[in-house]
Amino acid sequence: MSLLATRQASQDEPLRDASDYLRLVLTARVYDVARRTELQHATVLSEQLGHDILLKREDTQPVSSFKLRGAYNRISRLSPEVLARGIITASAGNHAQGVAWSAAKLGIPAVIVVPETAPQVKVAATRRFGGPTVQVIKAGDSYSDAYGHAVRLQSERGMTFIPAFDDADVIAGQGTVAMEILSEHQGPIDAIFVPIGGGSLAAGIATYVKALRPDIRVVGVQTQDSCAMARSIDAGHRLELSDVGLFSDGTAVKLVGEETFRLCKAYLDEVILVDTDEVCRAIKDIYQDTRRFVEPAGALAVAGARRYAARHVADAHPAKLTLVAIVSGANLNIDRIRFIAERAAVGESREALFAVSIPEERGSFLHFCELVGNRNVTEFNYRMDSHDRARIFVGVEIDEPAEEAALAAVFEAAGFAVVGLGNDELSTQHIRHMVGGRSAAAHDERLFRFAFPERPGALMRFLRSMSPSWNISLFHYRNQGADYSSTLVGIQAGAGDDRELTCFLDRLGYPYREETDNPAYRLFLR
C-alpha cells in the first residue's frame, strides 16, 4: 500500500492504514459547528424490503449536509496567521456551504468557486451562510472545472486551499459519521451504504469501520453516469471521466482524489451503481419515512441499499439484514420535485406507459376508456391524427410489473395497436410532453380547459354525458396529485349546437374555461 504524500494538515507522519485514520477521526474537531445526527429506523422502507433499514440523517446538519464536518476539521487546524490570509475552495455546492459556515464561525475571509451547474439553492445558501466575508465565483460545468479555476486564484491571492475531499483532515472529519453510527447502534450491522463523489465520506467511514468492526461491509454507491471511483477501482488506478451526469450534482466528479482512491480501493467492499429512476425512487422512500425531500446525492445510499436488498433476495438468502444508509444532503431545488415524482413511478415499476392507436370513429375513445376502467391514469394525451386513425399516449398506475403486459393484452384484444413505452428514455423524458400538434381533420373544434375532480368515474361521466353527435378531437390530462386536475379537451360540435353544448357544460358541473381564441392554441394546435 502506497504512503500518503506530505499532508497539508498539522501532522507530518505519513498515514498507512485504517488505524492511523482511527486516531484522526477520534481527535477530529467537528462539534463546534456540526451536530450528532440521528440514526433513524426507516419504518416504511424496512417493511417494504423485509430488512431493518437505518437512516443516518446528515441532511439535518446546519448546512443540510455532512460536508460541514470535514471542512471545519481542516480549517480549524490552520494557524491564526494562515487564517488571516483567507481560504479558498472549489465545490459543487455542499462543501461550499460547509466552508462558508466555518469561515463565518471563525470570522475569516473566503473565496468559494462553484460550477455554473451548481443548483441555485446551494449557491444562495453558501452566500447566506458566509455573509460579507465570503465571495462566491462561478466557473466551469463540473467540480473538476471549478477546482482548476480555484487553484489558479489561489496562486494569485496567496490564500490556503481547502480540499473538498482529497485531504486527511477532511477525510477524518467525515469519518466522524461512522464514529456516531457505531456508538449509536452497537448491535449487528450487515452493511453501511455511502454515496461517493470525490470519496472523502466513503474513505472516512470505511477506514474507521474496518479498524473497529471489520465484519461490517462498507458499500459505496454512485450513479451510472458519474462513476469515477467505481471505474478507477476496477482499473486499479485513477481514471478521469470525460464528462459526468449532473442529475446527482453533489457527486458529479470527473476525477476522484489520490488519497480517497487509495483508501476506497483498500477498504470498500464494493461499489454499487444505480440509475436516475432508482435515485428518484429513493428520494420518495426517504420522504415517506422522514417527510423531508433530499437531493439526489443524498438519496444515493438508499438506492444502493434497495438494490443490495433485492440482490440478497435473488440469491435466496432468507436472513433479515440490518442496513445503514447515509442520507448525505437535502439541498434540493424545489423545481426538481415534479421530475423526481415522475421518474420515481418508473423506478418503482408503478407506471405503465403505452402508445395506442384507435379508429377515429365515434365511440372508440369511450371504449378505450372503458378498457382502462377505474385504474389511476397518470397521463393522457390524445390528438386526432386523421379521419380514420387517432393516437393516444397514456400512463397508467400499476401495482406490479406484470400488470403492464396484462393491460397491453387487453388493448390488443379490443383491436387496438399498442406499443409499451415504459423503458424508453425518449418517451419518458420528451415524447410524453410533445404529443399533439395541428390536425387537418379537427374542423369545427372548440377548446375547453376543465378542472376534473380526481376521483374514479370523472372521465366516464364526462364522455357519457356528451351528445353522440359530437367528437373529441383532443384530450390532455396529467395527474397533479391534487383534488382537481387541469384537463384540456377539444370538442367537434356542429355550428348549430352552441346552445346544447352550453347546457351540457353547465349540467356537467366541472369548472371550465373556453380557450378556442387562445393565441397559443391557434399557433400550435389549430
Q: Give the catalytic positions in this structure.
A: 67, 328
Alpha helices, DSSP H, located in 108-219: 120-130, 143-157, 168-184, 200-212
Backbone φ, ψ for residue 484 (5° rounding)? -130, 150
Residue type for position 131: G
Q: Exposed (0-12), middle (13-18) or buried (19+): which is 517, by Cβ within 10 Å?
A: exposed
| CB-CB neighbours of 108 under 10 Å | 21
Cell of 178: 461512522
CB 68 within 8 A of CB 96: no
Phi, psi angle pair for 12, to nearest 5°: -105, -15
User: Which of 467, 473, 471, 463 is CA-nearest to residue 526?
Assistant: 473
Question: Beta partners for 44?
Answer: none
420 in Cβ contact with 393 (< 8 Å):
no
Within 8 A by CB and 6+ apart from 77, the residues are: 9, 10, 29, 169
Cβ neighbour number for residue 245 with a 10 Å cutoff: 17
Query: In Å, what is the CA distance from 318 to each residue of 51, 306, 429?
Result: 10, 16, 38
Single out the residue of 454, 472, 476 nearest to residue 463, CA to CA. 472
H/E segment holding residue 235: helix 228-235
Euclidean distance between the first and final Cα of the chain, in Å?
70
**What are the Cα distances from residue 129, in Å, to 136, 297, 400, 402, 501?**
11, 21, 45, 50, 59
Residue 428 grid coordinates: 419518458
Q: What angle do CA 428, 406, 392 make, to 5 degrees?
A: 45
Q: d(Cα 190, Cα 216) in Å, to the nearest integer?
A: 5
Residues 427, 373 contacting (CB under 8 angstroms): no
Q: Which helix (H) or strand (E) holds 104?
A: helix 94-106
